[in-house]
Amino acid sequence: MSDSPRLPRFLTAGCPAGAPEERRRQVALVNATLLTSLACALLFGLLAWRRGDTFPAIVNLSFSGALFLLSVDHRLHGVLHRTVTAAVALGGVFFWVLTFHGSVLNSGFVWMVLYPIVSLFALGLRRGLVAAGIGLAGAGAIFALSHRIDAIPTYSLELVLRFVAVYLLVAALTYIMEATREHFHARLEQARAQQERQAAELEAHNAQKAALIAQLESNLREVRALRGLLPVCPNCRKIRDDDGYWSELGQYLRQAAGTELTHGVCPDCARELYAEFLPEKSPET
């Protein structure tokens, strides 16, 4: 749509037209995460290459290239489940590599704290919690091997315990936030479904009401047409009412309309009955 904001339309690329709001939110989250991670990895890779740190530069540039291919594939095919799973798995491997190498000042493991947030928001509660557990287990294995493999920076027990505490705290807070969001989203969906159902019922009720009104108007027209016909006996000139009883004209008018008859003689009858008492018309008239 031409009046849609540019940024949301860009972030929801790969989302089918008319998709539910929850699907649009997931697609926007995936696209934003991919683009942000790609930009950060590319920047860190270039900075590492400039410093002469070959291994971190290769890791960051390779990660940014993989994210770019994943983003292009998602925009072309729009398979959200595959893109999310691949992105979370790729992010976990990337964080493991940073922890394994140590990066700048042996602080690469700090990025691992972001993994529970990414996995829970992207994969949902159950699958995200499993991915966060796998990420912690991989980091724990690297910490355990740091005292045996010279290529891995040595991590002290105090540092590892602090990292695990922070990791679990971030995972717990993210889990609570996502569970709360899913709960309220489910309630909103139920309210929306109930509102749509009530709207459909109201529309059906209005249709029935309109049909009933049309039927009543038709019946009223028939009643008015029938009431316009007044059965009169051709012999005695009595009138039949709605209950089937025959009444004199005066009685019928008195009962139906509250009208009392008075006596009078019309000019024609007056000339016929009382011609001798009436003055004769002059020739001029």
Q: What residue ranges do the domains of the chain occupy?
A: 6-194, 239-277
pLDDT at 8 exceeding the cut of 70: no
Instruction: Give whole-number Cα distances, 148 to 60, 137, 163, in Å.
Output: 26, 18, 20
pLDDT at 157 exceeding the cut of 50: yes
Instruction: Give whole-number Cα distances, 206 to 218, 228, 262, in Å.
Output: 18, 32, 52
- Condensed to tens digits (0 to 9), the pLDDT of residues 218-254 reads 877 776 655 666 778 877 878 777 777 788 877 777 7
pLDDT at 270 exceeding the cut of 60: yes
Could you give the percent of the chain with pLDDT greater than 70?
86
Instruction: Give whole-number Cα distances, 68 to 6, 8, 72, 236, in Å.
Output: 21, 19, 6, 104
Task: Using the structure block, give the residue that is written with the tokens 């045996």.
Answer: 148
- How far, in Å, CA of 18 to CA of 40, rounded? 32
Closest CA to 139 of 163, 103, 165: 163
- Condensed to tens digits (0 to 9), the pLDDT of residues 161-214 reads 999 999 999 999 999 998 998 899 889 889 989 999 999 999 999 999 999 999
Compute the chain's Rg from CA coordinates.
45
- Condensed to tens digits (0 to 9), the pLDDT of residues 96-147 reads 888 888 776 777 788 899 999 989 988 889 999 999 999 999 999 999 998 8
DSSP 230-245: --B-TTT--EE-TTS-
Residues 6 or more apart from 163 whose CB is under 8 A from it?
A: 109, 112, 113, 139, 143
For the chain, helix, strand, coil in percent to 5 are 75, 0, 25
Q: What are phi and psi of 239, to 5 degrees?
A: -115, 140
